[in-house]
Structure 1
């Protein structure tokens, strides 16, 4: 590595440490914050800088920064390029570089609070994701966004017991029979690789993918909307959540409920910071080690 490359890499390390220890608006916009967090994630992957819970917190914060950058108008292709530059810059830094000790100390300070935070709200344009890392010994929502279909409340996310690893939709229908099937509908990245932001963020029918629920059961009372006494919990495969996490935060996805008479009731959700919420949830309960 040349002297110039060393200097550039060291500058990147120090800038990353400063950004991670300072409010984003003080040093730059959301795209800058995403770049610096991606840099530190890549450096940690190479040099094993942080404890598991700090790694998980940094992963959640990086996903949140990406969502903020996209909502601020950054192009996805530009953020992908920024992440590639961040990885290249991290690869140019020696794991023995003393500046990495500065990064480690500042990141530990900046994100140790995340590790102790029991709940977070990941704000969207109109709908939010609510994450809760408490009460893991009892049924409840770990990550949830709420919607409605007609007068019936619908929630989607991760709920149930502490080891909940598959997403679900919980619905309490008002004044009609129970559905016979449910499915998720979202942009098919193989047909439409770029984010679909027109038409309310929902891709046209020809560019949609769908995933059917794998099962249904009576919802635990802890998962029901306030004032509801009964409802159904429709479970979806874990792979469907992985695909939702790759959507642009400005995009929309649907939960469709299909009835025996051929009718379909549809609840609309925002992709938002689903990926960041999942990473936050994966940190486990406060005071425990991340999985």
Structure 2
């Protein structure tokens, strides 16, 4: 890789970092993703960054991946882009002086980003809200809000008072009996390799035969600190870690459902968007502040 190319990537990476993961409006569809993927691959080869900066860069790379998909790139496009970025990084010597420029500029840009306590990750129709502030009571680390009928449903990662996180859904039903089970319903990539998109590029669930279900692993009364404002009671339904891994693998344009099952055979459904769950989760993984 020529020196000028490395310098250009350094500058682009710094601008991308200072955007604090803002939507990539005005950027080339895959250009930002290529630049971040190159710097990340160079780090994996040469250990350029301390852990907080590397974690921030990983989250930013995932966000650029989602932004490119929403801008019209295909997964095949991005696979090729990532392959090119890794190949370019493999050609660069870890002793290349321009790589030092990349390291210093990206470190300076992402150090402040890594200290950011809260961040929103907008999607097509919904957003994930991340919170890294320490708390002495249970708190949402990552959440997206929805409704089923008139009842609010919040879904994401809840941290208990000891900081242990669990994928959870919190619901406050009014005038209904308690559900006996809750499940996440999403596309199963092993049965439908690509997301189902409408002609307008909006994600939709595939037929039932190509869906995956993740069942809840337990329930308890919701702590007041994680209830929707104005609600005084609710239930927390916890899911296994496999649910988070499955959601992180979805296309950001895809919906998924949280379904509450009742003994009379009825089902209450809340709709969510995968969005930048993977990037937001990586941001939360940087730790509390």
Distance 1:175 1:100, change over 3 A: same
What is the distance in 1 between the residues matched to 2:264 and 2:2? 64
Question: Does the alignment pair 1:169 with 2:169?
Answer: yes
* Superposed CA offset, 1:21-55 (max 9, x none): 22586984241001110111111111111011101
Aligned match of 2:88: 89
Q: Which moved more, 1:160-169 or 1:173-182?
A: 160-169
TM-score by length of 2: 0.92
Displacement after TM superposition at 1:65 (Å): 0.7
TM-score by length of 1: 0.91
Q: Which moved more, 1:107-116 or 1:15-24?
A: 15-24
Q: How does 1:177-216 map to 2 (within 5 A)?
A: 177-198=177-198, 200-216=203-219
Question: In the alignment, which of 236, 242, 249 is matched to residue 246 of structure 1?
Answer: 249
Aligned match of 2:273: 270
Displacement after TM superposition at 1:138 (Å): 2.7
Gap runs ≥5 in structure 1: 1-7, 287-291
What is the distance in 1 between the residues matched to 2:165 and 2:2? 39
Displacement after TM superposition at 1:200 (Å): 4.6
Question: Does the alignment pair 1:124 with 2:117?
Answer: no
Maintained 8 Å contact 1:165/1:238 = no
Maintained 8 Å contact 1:10/1:93 = no
Displacement after TM superposition at 1:187 (Å): 0.4
Displacement after TM superposition at 1:193 (Å): 0.9
* Superposed CA offset, 1:154-181 (max 9, x none): 0000013253333100001111001000
Gap runs ≥5 in structure 2: none
Displacement after TM superposition at 1:269 (Å): 0.2
Question: Does the alignment pair 1:153 with 2:152?
Answer: yes
Displacement after TM superposition at 1:12 (Å): 4.0
Aligned match of 2:98: 99
* Superposed CA offset, 1:125-175 (max 9, x none): 221100000134431100000000000000000013253333100001111
Aligned match of 1:15: 8
What is the distance in 1 between the residues matched to 2:103 and 2:34? 17
What is the distance in 2 between the residues matched to 1:247 and 1:267? 18
* Superposed CA offset, 1:171-214 (max 9, x none): 01111001000010000000011122237522221210001001
Alignment RMSD (CA, Å): 1.7
What is the distance in 2 between the residues matched to 1:214 and 1:263? 20
SS at match of 1:141: strand
What is the distance in 2 between the residues matched to 1:27 and 1:255? 35
What is the distance in 2 between the residues matched to 1:87 and 1:12? 14
Q: How many correspondences in the alignment? A: 279
What is the distance in 2 between the residues matched to 1:28 and 1:177? 50
What is the distance in 2 between the residues matched to 1:200 and 1:272? 10
What is the distance in 2 between the residues matched to 1:38 and 1:266? 37
